[in-house]
Amino acid sequence: MTDLTTFIAGLPKAELHVHHVGSASPRIVAELAARHEGRSPVPTDPAALADYFAFKDFAHFIEVYLSVMDLIRDDEDVRTLTYEVARELARQQVRYAELTVTPYSHVRRGIPAPAVCAAIEDARTAAARDFGIDLRWIFDIPGEEGLPAAEATLRLALDEHPDGLVGFGLGGPEIGVPRPQFRPFFDAARAAGLHSVPHAGETTGPQTMWDALNELGAERIGHGIAAAQDPALMRHLATHGIALEVCPTSNVRTRAVASIEEHPLARLVEAGVTVTVNSDDPPMFGTTLEEEYAVAARLLGLDHHGVADLARAAVTASFLSDAGKKTLMAEIDAYTQGFTG
């Protein structure tokens, strides 16, 4: 390995934009597909999943994502998936992760809400014990399901409120899913103490991001790469310290960006916008968080000190406690100072 690759592999990290079901490894997806063979189009051979995960566009990605979601049939599936996601994150030296969970999708497939929450909490406790990783949850609305899904997600968040829940989000397609309609649900979630972290500006323009800020009170924005098209928006983000959860490979694989060379990450950084590096749905996109750090380092021309600054930005933008941030920052500092290549 090169010195930078070695540095990234050992660097303590926080991951802020990673989807629960989208993080299922090929092994877990294939096992679930075999369990439900004949009732799902998902391949049962892990080697065949690379072709299955070759997305034509964002709409096709959503179609495939939902087919994997259909494999999660009971609370034990939820627990196993969550625990295995934690194992993979911990392997990459992730100390803290905010997983985007879509509980509505599990509940509508017949898993009771209390069982979903008990399963992820059981996995969170086990992961902390076994892997030393601190998991937290962002419950997100599947935007394509509309206002009924928003109401159900809010009610589930407020009624169940698992111990690890820190945020309220909005995912799925942006096209045809205007952000302002979700304002009442975000208002209620924020009033209950949850942080606002909607996706915006991934496959649509800057207006979606303005709506996320002005209508949904966004404190961080998932993706947000469309900000590069609007200097005023970039100034607003920089001035108010609103971080973007950038996922470079995801943007290319879903065709939101034509190529990695055309990714606007550098323009955002040059404008003073706080960016964090994340993996989104890593097995589906054939990537890892480590690889996303390497991509970002290449796009930004960073050495290991610059890469460490990206890790620090994620900690700062996280919803980890102040004490937890201080501890993780100290670990990043000690690792960086002690690195000899």
DSSP 69-121: HTT--SHHHHHHHHHHHHHHHHHTTEEEEEEEE-HHHHHTTT--HHHHHHHHH
Distance CA 28, CA 283 (A): 11
Residues forming a β-bridge with 220: 243
Over residues 176-200, the pLDDT tens digits come to 999 999 999 999 999 999 999 999 9
pLDDT at 2 (0 to 100): 74
Active site residue 202: yes
User: For the chain, how many structural domains are there in total?
Assistant: 1
Among 33, 61, 59, 54, CA closest to 45: 33
pLDDT at 51 (0 to 100): 79
- Greater confidence (35 vs 263) lies with 263
Confidence of residue 339 (pLDDT cuts 50, 70, 90): very high
pLDDT at 69 (0 to 100): 79
User: pTM for the complete prediction?
Assistant: 0.93
- For the chain, the average pLDDT equals 93
Query: Is 187 exposed, middle or buried, given 0-12, 13-18 or 19+ CB atoms closer than 10 A?
Result: middle
The residue annotated as part of the active site, out of 98, 202, 219, 290, is 202
Identify the CATH number of the domain in which residue 70 sits.
3.20.20.140
What is the strand order of the sheet 94-101 is part of? 13-19, 94-101, 134-142, 165-171, 195-196
pLDDT at 224 (0 to 100): 98
Q: Which domain holds residue 129?
A: 3-338
pLDDT at 1 (0 to 100): 53
Above 90 in pLDDT, residue 170?
yes
Distance CA 61, CA 202 (A): 13
Distance CA 199, CA 211 (A): 11
The mean pLDDT value for 253-277 works out to 96
